[in-house]
Amino acid sequence: MNGCNMTTKKARLREQDGYRVRIVHLERVSIARQEAVPDFELDRLALTYKVLGDPTRLKIVMALAGGEMCVCDLAAFLGLSESAVSHQLRRLKDLALVRNRREGPVLYYSLDDEHVADLLEVGLEHVRE
């Protein structure tokens, strides 16, 4: 008898007739299925973390946590060209991590909402522990 025994709710690995038998916790599996996040939301979340996983984009987002900045400001802060910064900002804007507002010929960027700042804060707390 090799495989899963679906009749018990307790976790254990036991020897039976020389075979190891795994016990599945049906209640926990059922709860996990009920609480599962839809795939399209998981994909969006994974993409968000992937975009934030780039050090340059992460620096931009962290700088914007302190207040809005224009492309020129961000380029000076990062030591990059305005074109390179604009490219990164476009990626961040596509995922609704940053937004912009126009004042004459200048676009000012800021975090899209406080949830983005919360992501940064929680992440920093985790790595600083």
Q: What is the pLDDT of residues 51-61, one digit of tens each?
A: 999 999 999 99
CATH code of the domain containing 67: 1.10.10.10
Determine contact, residues 119/95, Cβ cutoff 8 Å: no
- With a CB cutoff of 8 Å and minimum separation 6, the contacts of 32 are none
Give me the number of domains the chain comprises: 2
pTM of the predicted model as reported, rounded to 2 decimal places? 0.76
E-only strand ranges, 17-70: 19-23, 69-70
Write out the residue range of the structural domain in which residue 73 sits: 39-128
What would you report as the CA-atom Rg of the chain, rounded to the nearest whole angstrom?
24
Residues 66 and 121 in one domain: yes
DSSP letter at 11 equals -
Which of the four pLDDT bands, split at 50, 70 and 90, describes residue 15?
low
Question: Is residue 121 pLDDT above 60, yes or no?
Answer: yes
Concatenated DSSP letters for 66-121?
A: TS-EEHHHHHHHHT--HHHHHHHHHHHHHTTSEEEEEETTEEEEEESSHHHHHHHH
Residues 73 and 119 in one domain: yes
pLDDT at 14: 59
Residues 47 and 94 in one domain: yes
Question: Is residue 2 pLDDT above 90, yes or no?
Answer: no
- What is the average pLDDT value for the chain, to the nearest integer? 89
Rounded distance between C-alpha atoms, residue 84 and residue 63, angstroms: 16
Percent of the chain whose pLDDT exceeds 70: 85
